[in-house]
Structure 1
């Protein structure tokens, strides 16, 4: 995880440095920037693998042709086919080397070939300029355009006040160049189910399918354990993060080490109890933090400023996520999280309303498309606030491709098959049954946050106040709690157009 700040067109370098300073939390290992005739490009870098000599540049990846790159995220392609860096190249990671080499060879057409989570900006002395973001938007990127100048940054707070009204999310799965404008990547994997179409919905998947799910997810976890910085697991106690922890702990045991796991919650909450049981079963080095309702309430203004959102559902889950990231940051530099499993294997309760497979698959695709501004934003911002890099094995493209190619009828919920039945079956025996088959709860519910925050902040705004001010955004603010959060958002991110930058869930 690092911070990107860049501009194409007329630009004052001092503005670029200000943008980086506002995102220093994302990249505590060094700031660097470079002015070109037509552009400015800079980064605040977090070192997690192949850490460069501290005496060399903290940024970029420059080559003999005068082409420079700043990047955020994790490009698995760089590990699959690591290029040898040229002697005159200053580089910080094989990921960026691979991306820069491919761009030098093929131009913007190379971006869809990159495998992983990334946001990239490339600029060259000869006038070259390009930006790109991965297909799911795991790595954040925002942009703003005005009077022939285009600005890019990893977070909205980076932009100067006079630019904020123009800030928009850079669309996932797209690239931009001055010549071609905004260009979409090919469709991401899994648009259409293609496997086992002859099987009836009630049939049990063959063992090779369950084996493929296990093997593919195991490979994804193994790839994300590749870091020179210490790696840990954010363990909520739910099935998704527990499966990641089970896989990672087996890999770590083969290497002769015990992985650290981290969990948080209020005293007596279900998530803490379940996480303790999982950690004991897996023999991880487990740490936890017990916080009070007052601790959580006091954190909310900071959470909203870091989150860059005000949807109550996100805020409820962001508070424990902030605290567990803070705990982990004292011990590791990279964390694995369970985000993405619900979107691939139909884990949310509202998916249970579907009785036809086609409708369920369509909603899963829509949820994957939109999660960059929901759960993925929460994971990124809460980790970034503490200088952590969060990695998401479930959103490895191999895992996505396999999961979305399976018959969606196997993901329908019924009395015999609870949510994520297919994923749970694939990992039978890896975890205690009471964990493996635990009912899905939102992170904010399992940690006790939802009731605490809803009660406290909902009581601060009366019905008349809500009626008078609800229409400040579209659709109107729905509860007193949401209006309280919106006011904190406006104070922290003055000038940002919430209608165009903030996703809100159907129920507040």
Structure 2
């Protein structure tokens, strides 16, 4: 079954590698799988955004070198993170957890646009398909299956919508190989027990697929860390979030008053 999924994943990536593309790259399992396949069809630009010394930058640097692909590092200062957060809030407002996810995406899309890329490939959907989030392990059987199906269906209104809006802001398109319909159908048709790992060994099926595809071993074995944490963005935003929210609230109030006084 893994071999069939590997074939479908190659199709998924190939379909999005027409012309100049970039990959939102952390050096982890999901983005490394995309990069490993993409290099068969094009020379993608790998882009990583993060604070100096962050886990994502260090891991991405190593895996990009192993893949022998061009790699752009976007090193974010505290001032830049705050500035980008405010821009992301204008694109799609929400609470800290929703908006902070957009900060590395915004920074990478901006760099991709500067490099003349038409689109950026991301790993969205991998956690839902291959049961990668810790919270999934609080559920079992049919309840877990229903939760996973619901979250996959909701991705176009969640993470994917946010990435779509950010990419569009730079005149680009975001693409999601893990959400290629034939691939999704094949994964969901498998018995849950064949997809489910443990809290200490998540996404075993995807790791098997990655091994078949020739993904570097360090990327296959790297433990998942959410983008806002692996990039170091979350920690710096926490230090500034109160001031940011007060400023944004004041601007909203000013807009409201201007509207009322028209």
| Aligned partner of residue 338 in structure 1, secondary structure | coil
Change (3 A) 1:275 1:491: farther
Q: Which residue of 2 aligns with 1:426?
A: 209
2:249 to 484, 487, 507: 487
Q: Which residue of 2 aligns with 1:360?
A: 144
1:242 to 9, 32, 36: 32
TM-score scaled by length of structure 1 = 0.47
Are 1:219 and 2:4 an aligned pair? no
Change (3 A) 1:375 1:341: same
Q: Which residue of 2 aligns with 1:284?
A: 69
CA deviation profile, 1:323-371 (whole Å, cap 9, x unmatched) = 01101111111221111111111111211223x2322211101111222
Q: Residue 279 of structure 1 contacts residue 285 of structure 1 at CA under 8 Å; is this kept in 2?
A: yes
Q: 5+ residue gaps in structure 1?
A: 1-208, 253-257, 461-480, 495-508
| Aligned partner of residue 40 in structure 2, secondary structure | helix
Q: Which residue of 1 aligns with 2:122?
A: 337
Q: Which stretches of structure 1, 4 residues or longer, exceed 3 Å deviation after superposition?
A: 483-486, 488-494
1:296 to 55, 60, 81: 81
Change (3 A) 1:303 1:492: farther
Equivalent-residue separation in structure 1 for 2:17 and 2:250 (angstroms): 37
How many residues are matched? 254
Equivalent-residue separation in structure 2 for 1:489 and 1:401 (angstroms): 45
Change (3 A) 1:300 1:485: farther
2:101 to 317, 324, 339: 317
Pairwise CA RMSD: 2.2
Change (3 A) 1:488 1:236: farther
Q: Residue 130 of structure 2 contacts residue 196 of structure 2 at CA under 8 Å; is this kept in 1?
A: no
Equivalent-residue separation in structure 1 for 2:128 and 2:246 (angstroms): 29
CA deviation profile, 1:59-112 (whole Å, cap 9, x unmatched) = xxxxxxxxxxxxxxxxxxxxxxxxxxxxxxxxxxxxxxxxxxxxxxxxxxxxxx
Q: Which residue of 2 aligns with 1:396?
A: 180
> 1:486 deviation in Å?
7.1
| Aligned partner of residue 8 in structure 2, secondary structure | helix
> 1:267 deviation in Å?
0.3
Equivalent-residue separation in structure 2 for 1:454 and 1:382 (angstroms): 22
Structure of greater Rg: 1
